[in-house]
Amino acid sequence: MTATATRITTSDALLDKLAKIEMPTPTVISCYVRLDRTARHRRQYLVELVNRIRELERGFAERSIGAEDQRTIHADIEKVVRRLARLDDLPALAGVGVFACGAIDLFELVPLVRVHRNRIDVDTRPLMHELLDGIDEGLPRGFAVNGTRETLRALARGQVRELIVPDEGRASGFRCSETLALTATKADCRGSGQPNPVPNLIDHVIEDALRHGSRSL
């Protein structure tokens, strides 16, 4: 079995590299794993990760992910699992983020001082807001804002360091193919292209705010 070479870094260059990635189909894996003492005991974090992977794979058909992309995703998931199974080689921190996409030779492991929850997802780009939060743990929290639009604009300006989203708010939604707008229902895409399903709509809204600022809001 070939070991996966991994760079462990949180440099600005890496963040810029991840932020610029945009694939035509959802083949970019983003994985966040908590590595507290309980999780490390007998590698419990791997048990939960495998369960999350099964949940992810069950949704491929609903998301219209093609067979070729699925094969690519499976291969990258295997690399992620093999790397995370090497517990002694993982950083002695509260968690890690892993980003993988074999099509562009991407495999990055980032040590984090905090991971809110274990998750693995696949998208056309890396899901970075938890990564930025984990890196920026020691920075000032910014200020509180009220209202979705103003919250996202403040987030885009870098003035929000903490954003709490309840689990029930993580419903799926759609991205309109022509305008790239995010919507809660297919009907909202009328006149704006085909509605392409996306999981965890709020995560995509946050990612758009981080990438494009108030232009997308």
Tell me how long the chain is.
Answer: 217
In this prediction, what percent of the chain has a pLDDT beyond 90?
39
Q: What integer best gives the mean pLDDT of the chain?
A: 77
**pLDDT for residue 96:** 92
Q: What SS3 string covers 118-155?
A: CEEEEECCCCCHHHHHHHCCCCCCECCCCCHHHHHHHH
pLDDT at residue 120 greater than cutoff 70: yes
**pLDDT for residue 116:** 83
Return the SS3 of 66.
Answer: coil
Other beta carbons less than 10 A from residue 103's beta carbon: 13
pLDDT at residue 74 greater than cutoff 60: yes
Radius of gyration of the chain (CA): 17
Structure tokens at 106: 């991407």
pLDDT-derived band of residue 141, with 50, 70 and 90 as boundaries? very low
State the pTM of this model.
0.61
Tokens 């699992």 correspond to: 81
Instruction: Provide the residue type at 27 as one letter.
Output: T
Cα dihedral sign, 116-112-17-77: negative
**pLDDT for residue 5:** 43
Q: Which of residues 209 and 29 earns the better pLDDT score?
A: 29
Model pLDDT for residues 39-63, shown as the tens digit of each residue: 999 999 999 999 999 999 999 989 9
Return the SS3 of 33.
Answer: strand
**pLDDT for residue 9:** 42
pLDDT at residue 145 greater than cutoff 50: no
* Furthest C-alpha separation in the chain: 53
Segment among 3-12, 28-37, 49-58 with least mean pLDDT:
3-12
